[in-house]
Amino acid sequence: MSIRTLPPHGSLSRARAHHCPCPPCARRTAEYHQTRRRLIAYGQWQPYVDAEPVRQHVHMLRTYSLGVPRVRQLSGVSGGSMTKLLYGANGRPPSQRVRTLTADRVTAVRPSLDLVLPTALVDGTGTRRRLRALTVMGWPQREIGRRLGVDRKTVNEQVNAVKATTYGSTARAVRDLYDRLWDADPVVLGVDPRWIAESKASAAKRRWAPPAAWDDDYIDSPAAVPDLGEKVSAYAALSENALWLMNEQGYTREQAAHRLGITGRHLERALTWARDAREAVAS
């Protein structure tokens, strides 16, 4: 039989439900009553809110490979509260209302690859697209694997969608490597030109999309599609507008990206593309 542990000292549940007289619990009780009186005076006292949006938020997090135990850990919500929210308890249906504090804690957890456990399986779409984009730029699978600390077979399985999922740790490692190499020249970093040419030819044959075809905000979304037709003109327009803002209006790169409604990395790629295009014309 499992032994039920008490809530920690300084928590409202221990102070009220278990009548703990310790100083931390006494302070927490006093804070609760002070806050309650103040909010009542302003007509803002709302101890409970609708549970359905909170429940849907948990379901959404689960689609990002953040399981219920992980959400509990990140939010600090007790197992009992989470069980009542999602499944109900003691023959009762899932909660119709939850405490405002519980709702705030749960909805504060946002979907992020950085929060996924290393061994959790995540959708491999973003990983596959990043590896293919690096191949387009001339990075051989052997070299990618070496930099990731895995063998070529592992890289090949991800590149060719042999496996639909990947581990959270692998997805993070590929994302970080991609961020470092998407605009790096493999020759400068010591890769044999023969392998670079082979990688580019292989990617071209399969019509894989380059980094410029993906927006960082959507590369992980299975619904996103690469922009292979109009991306060049879009990058030209973005770089031209950004340079005008920076040179004529005194904007920083961060301010220009915000003004154009894009990420800083997206703007960096547009400026890099424009620079490369100018150098190609000059040569």
Please write the tens of the pLDDT for every residue from 39-95: 777 776 677 889 999 999 998 888 788 889 999 999 888 888 899 999 988 888 999
- pLDDT at 3 exceeding the cut of 80: no
CB 204: neighbour CB atoms within 10 A? 11
Per-residue CA distances from 227 to 70, 177, 208, 253 (Å)? 35, 22, 11, 24
- pLDDT at 136 exceeding the cut of 80: yes
> Rounded to 10 degrees, what is the CA torsion of 144, 150, 153, 157?
-80
| CATH number, domain 48-111, options 1.10.3470, 1.10.260, 1.10.3300, 3.40.50 | 1.10.260
- pLDDT at 248 exceeding the cut of 80: no
- pLDDT at 283 exceeding the cut of 70: no
Handedness of CA 117, 122, 125, 128 (dihedral sign): positive
Residue pointed to by tokens 């909010």: 39
- pLDDT at 144 exceeding the cut of 50: yes
Segment of 3-12, 46-55, 178-187, 235-244 carrying the highest mean pLDDT: 178-187
- pLDDT at 23 exceeding the cut of 90: no
Q: What is the pTM of this model?
A: 0.62
CA 124, CA 119: separation in Å to the nearest integer?
14
CA 62, CA 193: separation in Å to the nearest integer?
44
CA 212, CA 96: separation in Å to the nearest integer?
47
User: Which pLDDT does position 45 carry in this prediction?
Assistant: 67
CA 140, CA 51: separation in Å to the nearest integer?
50
